[in-house]
Structure 1
Amino acid sequence: MMQKKSWALILSVALLLGYGIWFHSRVPVQDADWKEKYAVTPEVTLHGDTLHINGIRDFRFDSDGQVVQARYLNRTYTLSKLKGLWFGLSHFGGDGLAHAFASFEFSDGTFLAVSIEARLRKEQNRYNPLAGAFRNYTKMVVLGTEQDVIGSRAFSAQEPVFLYPINGSALQGQALLLNFLRRADILSRTPDFYNTLTDNCLTGLLAESGRYTELHDWLDYRLLLPGYSHEVLYEHGLIGQGESLEQIQAQARVNPDIAPDTDNYSQKIRSAPSL
């Protein structure tokens, strides 16, 4: 009996060692046959107060997530004109399954959406959360228009999308945006892995905000399931001005009937009642 237990222990240790070697031998790549919407990484240039970004994604998608219009924009932003930050949640399933993203609002009425995503290859049909825990996806910072990042989810996929205005100063928003842009620039040169548990759409946002340690708690399931993360932000005073969480959520709902190419899209999804 003791001999059997010894062999079982040896086998278990060998399997763990083999898994560890396999896991750490996997290397993220920059050059691959990427899906069309992940083929181009943004290029960021900063000169004083001026940001210039090449490769802002402005795609349109059908209800199946297929690309029907592929377009990239080159835009210039003035950092000091940043006036607001929005936290977005797109719920694609029950039990807290959601995608988290951020959107930066400038005083001229323009918005820049930032979304940390798993960069899929053409042979990878869709994101698999389990596979995402085992170094199967490279990480990408998508810089896009709201028509792309929000419209693809709220209008095309008909996912419930919520936009919560974040309480904070303009300087804090500027610092966060710069952190995201630096991360996008680093990933364009030095790829890294996306991880469902430790480095995902939500934890990436928290890490760049500098409040990861304050907000993150491994025992709090709401940060492992982004669909509940707005509750944590509410408890820490990052969203809301005295209203109940239910009131805030009702006000944050994006109207799914507003098409991405509607004039003044960003303003209308924040003012039109959701149905």
Structure 2
Amino acid sequence: MKTSYKAKLKRALFRLYLFTVMGLFIPLVLIGNCLIIHFTFHDYLRLLSVLSYSLGSVILLFFHKRFKKALFAFSLVSALLLLWFICIPASNDRNWDPAVAQLPKITYDENLIHIEKFRHFEYTPNETKEKYRSQTFDIDQLVGTDLIISYWDNYRTIGHTFVSFRFKDGQNIAISLEVRKQELESYDPLRGMFKQYELIYLIGDERDLIPLRTKIRHEETFLYPMNLSVAHSKSFLKDILEAANKLNEKPQFYNSISRNCTTGMIEHLNKIRDFQIPLSQKIVLNGILDYYSYQLKGIPTDLPFDVLKRACYISETANQIPLDENFSLNLRQVINTRLEKERRKRNIHHPVETHSSN
């Protein structure tokens, strides 16, 4: 009786092993490595290499007399291919698209932040003037942070997120983590998972980064004041600037999942002491990041979310306000007026919220 039980258990474990190896491990490794070959090998080697690897693996695994030896050989080749992929270095030496050709450089002088290659592009219907300047900010004048989300689809499940830091004198630093595309290159989310794009922090004026979304790309854009304390805003800004500066010496790859416009910024936020944003599918579907921020009390919560979202819609307003030195102040004045109007309707006294931890 004991022998029969052991035999059944052994048979069940062997079947589980076969299912795991044949049903999960081998297909996932095959697909993953074929994608690595497809996206990273040169054009004239791509198809031949994919066919050689996939057909060779199938023949080895299904026709070799000793399956364990065949599995070991398949795993070894696949591991070497994966190791080669991991070791592919990022580069700053490519034929960059002019919009992302310049990396910002940041230096400090006590409380002053000096930014070289600070963007202030100018846009007309037929032309983009790529302009940069050197600009200095006093971090002690920092008063807050805003979350900006823009959408290019009607579903609003996927969008682009970036942040802007407000200063007492009306200046701002808008920062967007983006794909650093080469000239004539287009973005593909699947390619973005296989080291096909470097990343860049675009650091510039709101009169550049906001009209780029609202006026040139015609995206639906929302600007939310974040419930970050001044101290947390300073830590957030410093960590982003440090990462942006390091790219001058040590470039990094953009990744559609793990290092994109949203996850990258959350990584910086989570470096703030006692501050942690939980992982969620709402981060992957970053078009609903504003609602997730609302649930976490990272943006104002005294109004219903749908009311807050309507009040923070800025596309039409940003396209109407003159792009002068008062652009940012005027834009926020419109948002604040809408919010106060909605609060008065509901007899709500708006408290000053600060997000310290979660």
Tell whether the 8 Å contact from 1:56 to 1:73 is kept in structure 2 after alignment. Answer: yes
Give 1:100's aligned residue. Answer: 161
2-structure distance, mates of 1:241, 1:226: 19
TM-score normalised to structure 2 length: 0.69
Q: Distance in 2 between matches of 1:184 and 1:211?
A: 15
Q: Find the partner of 1:189 among 245, 249, 257.
A: 249
Q: Which residue of 2 aligns with 1:135?
A: 195
Does structure 1 residue 46 correspond to structure 2 residue 115?
Answer: no
Runs of 5+ consecutive residues of structure 1 not aligned to the other structure: none
**RMSD over aligned Cα atoms:** 2.5
SS of the equivalent of 2:316 reads: coil
Identity across aligned pairs (percent)?
25
- 1:6-17 equivalences under 5 Å are 6=67, 13=75, 16-17=78-79
For 1:46-195, what aligned pairs fall within 5 Å after superposition? Answer: 46-61=108-123, 68-93=128-153, 94=155, 96-124=157-185, 126-195=186-255
Q: In structure 2, what is the Cα distance between the partners aligned to 1:260 and 1:41?
A: 29
Whether the 8 Å CA contact 2:294–2:300 is kept in 1: the answer is yes
Q: Distance in 2 between matches of 1:157 and 1:172?
A: 32
CA displacement at 1:75 relative to structure 2: 0.9
Alignment correspondent of 2:46: none
Aligned 8 A contact 2:269 2:276 in 1? no
d(CA) in 2 for partners of 1:33, 1:141: 18
Whose strand proportion is higher, 1 or 2? Answer: 1
Counterpart contact for 1:104–1:112, Cα < 8 Å: yes
Counterpart contact for 1:103–1:112, Cα < 8 Å: yes
User: Alpha-carbon deviations, 1:147-178, whole Å to 9, x = none?
Assistant: 11111001111100111101121111111111
The 3-state SS of whatever aligns with 1:234 is: helix
Q: CA deviation at 1:27?
A: 1.1
Shift of 1:67: 5.3
- The answer as to whether partners of 2:145 and 2:225 remain within 8 angstroms in 1 is yes
Q: Secondary structure at the match of 1:101?
A: strand
Matches of 2:100 and 2:310, distance apart in 1: 32
**Structure 1 residues 269 and 21: CA distance shift in structure 2, 3 A:** same
User: The residue matched to 2:246 in structure 1 has which SS?
Assistant: helix
Name 1:232's counterpart in structure 2.
292
**Under a length normalisation based on structure 1, what TM-score does the superposition of the two structures give?**
0.88
88-97 or 236-245, which deviates more: 88-97
Give the C-alpha shift of residue 222 in structure 1. 1.1
Count of residue pairs the alignment pairs up: 268
Check whether the contact 1:56–1:144 (CA below 8 A) recurs between aligned residues. Answer: yes
Cα distance, 1:8–1:260 mapped onto 2, change above 3 Å: farther
Q: Greater RCO between the two (CA within 8 Å, min separation 6)?
A: 1
In the superposition, relative to structure 1, how do residues 243 and 260 fare at CA in structure 2: closer, same or farther (>3 Å)? Answer: closer
SS at match of 2:146: strand
Q: Which amino acid is the alignment partner of residue 198 of structure 1?
A: S
Which amino acid letter does the alignment assign opposite residue 254 of structure 2?
Answer: Y
Q: Which residue of 2 aligns with 1:26?
A: 88
Which secondary structure does the structure 2 equivalent of 1:181 belong to? helix
Change (3 A) 1:39 1:221: same
**2:56 corresponding residue in structure 1:** none
Max radius of gyration: which structure? 2
What corresponds to 2:258 in structure 1?
198
Structure 2: runs of 5+ lacking an equivalent: 1-60, 339-358
Q: Which structure: greater helix fraction?
A: 2
Q: Distance in 2 between matches of 1:215 and 1:50?
A: 29
For the residue of structure 2 that corresponds to 1:30, the secondary structure is: coil
CA distance in 1, matches of 2:312, 2:156: 20
